[in-house]
Structure 1
Amino acid sequence: MTGQLIQQTREDIEGMIARDELILPTLPEIALKVRDIAEDENASIQDMARALTKDPALSARLLRVTNSPMVRTMVPITDVTTAISRLGIDFTSNLVVGIAMEQMFQATNDAIDRRMRACWSHATEIAASAQVLARHFTKLPPDQALLAGLVHQIGTLPLLSYAEQSGSLIHGGPSLDHAIAELHQELGQKVLQSWDFPPELIAVTTDYLNFERERDEPDLIDLIQVATLQSYAGTNHPLANTDTSQVGAFVRLGLAADTETLELDDIATEQSETQAALSSGF
């Protein structure tokens, strides 16, 4: 796909969005409700529990994650109120927003549906890795790391919706792949801005492939960069050829560039079980 075709695709998508012919993905109502409760300083754990129990499927997912290695409860948690008490309101909000997103990764066209499901699977892999890295190698909140991983490629969704509606990219696999590679970051920024996400999470979508960035302390982008590069190690993906010795994120996390962090038994188990907890198997 040439630069001219990429620009044409960009203009087509922008025009369809402006004409309301292509709607940017919106957060599920329950996610918006939970986020509003978390932002209300007068809200209580009971308020959030009442909202969540109206969605039994999401409540079950929340309990599943709460009982996973990500939270490390000594005694199994069997009710939503206790889960929120254990996690805290902010952690619960980020977690619910993240796992509620899964329902957006579906399409009626079989080819696009497969891509959306693969995209969600990859997002859960990166999210699980990022939260493990946050927990073991930084002081960054693991719940924010998890959410950052789930949204880092959210711009792929409007591109896949465009492909499904227009039909112009569905049958040309490489063309669709190239369009996603070129455009998903700027579209991800638009999506997260429309969701009123904080700047540090929006920056994840725009900068997670900027391996030359410099800063003093580790941040969410560093976590996503390391998780991403490790996920592609040993594959034929172009990012597998990245010279990780030149990626500052590894240094800021205190990792050697050639460290296979997630191959350590305990951490690998935590990562895989967290990813499994995030996936409903839909």
Structure 2
Amino acid sequence: MNDIAFEFVQQLGAELSAGNLKLPAFPDVAVRVKEVLESDDVSADKVAKVVGSDPVLSARLLKVANSNFANRSGAQIKDLRTAIARLGYDLAYSTAVSIALEQIMDSKSVGPIRAQLKSLWQHSVNVSAIAYMIAKKHSSINPDEAMLAGLLHDIGKYYIYTRAKDHPELFDDEARMDELLKTWHTGIGHAILEAWHFSDDIANTASDHDDLERVLLGKADVTDVVTTANLCAYWENLGEEFDWSRVTAAQRLNLDHDAIESILEASTEEIQSIMRALGC
């Protein structure tokens, strides 16, 4: 590790240990949607009022509500209240989060790392779509929670990329950058999601999704779904020889290679529909 990489690692470690991460602000509309959903008198009308204040979110929510995976009847939904009633509050919030993350990752300040963030965004949406289908078809986990966790599982990588853009030399060595991401993104992701007041279950997904031998007493949880979905996103690279029996998340979900392949093949259209609806 050269001096620049060593200095950067020291900086990351100090920021994480001190709880002094330079967090991006979570976009206001997502915060307001979260606040109204957590209120005692939440209603579709109140959620629609907040959503309606943001044209981009309004359009995305209607797009999701009219997508193949959310609207089997095919009857077009034209108003926000009906869209929210159709999707439910959890999926409506996941849609708001997808917009928020897209805005963060597409801000003017990202400059030279735009390509990396675009790839990261596409991967996150892919994992969220696969997680939704695994939860829906092969677990008792709430599919909407799995989708949200999938969207957020790699948020720590976003932080590392944005901090590293001031050290362009780090991007000259792809292997070195990959090692930095692998080592630091889980702990940083957990800290960010805690600071953004997401649930412990969602924050734990950020910290634990890369632990293929994670020990958990009891039944499968949302981290297991995202761990499995994250691996599935690299399905073509894993190959037939990948040993799913060593992935404790897959074991708790009672999934082996053939079962996972079956889910992915049967869900191809729905996964693509979710990804299109979320902006990919």
When the two structures are superposed, what TM-score results if normalisation uses the length of structure 1?
A: 0.87
Matched, 1:234 2:236: yes
Shift of 1:65: 1.2
RMSD: 2.7
Deviates further, 171-180 or 193-202: 171-180
Shift of 1:109: 5.6
Shift of 1:164: 1.2
CA contact (8 A) 1:226 1:249 kept: yes
Distance 1:256 1:277 in 2: 29
Deviations along 1:220-258, one digit per CA (max 9) or x if unpaired, are: 1111111122221232x7x99752122122232232234
Mapping of residues 190-209 of structure 1, within 5 Å:
190-209=191-210
CA contact (8 A) 2:60 2:95 kept: no
1:180 aligned residue: 181
Distance 1:148 1:132 in 2: 13
1:100 aligned residue: 100
1:112 aligned residue: 113
Distance 1:188 1:100 in 2: 16
Mapping of residues 137-176 of structure 1, within 5 Å:
137-176=138-177
Counterpart residue identity of residue 57, structure 1: V
Shift of 1:174: 2.3
Which structure 2 residue ranges, 5 or more long, are not aligned? none
2:223 aligned residue: 221
Distance 1:96 1:269, change over 3 A: same
Counterpart residue identity of residue 219, structure 1: D
2:12 aligned residue: 13
Shift of 1:165: 2.3
Mapping of residues 122-133 of structure 1, within 5 Å:
122-133=123-134
Shift of 1:21: 9.9
Counterpart residue identity of residue 269, structure 2: T
Distance 1:19 1:231, change over 3 A: closer
1:277 aligned residue: 277
Distance 1:270 1:159, change over 3 A: same
1:134 aligned residue: 135
Counterpart residue identity of residue 118, structure 2: R
Shift of 1:214: 3.3
2:69 aligned residue: 70
Counterpart residue identity of residue 236, structure 2: G
Which structure 1 residue ranges, 5 or more long, are not aligned? none
1:53 aligned residue: 52
When the two structures are superposed, what TM-score results if normalisation uses the length of structure 2?
A: 0.88
2:244 aligned residue: 244
Distance 1:41 1:26 in 2: 26
Shift of 1:33: 0.3
Distance 1:193 1:211 in 2: 23
1:30 aligned residue: 29
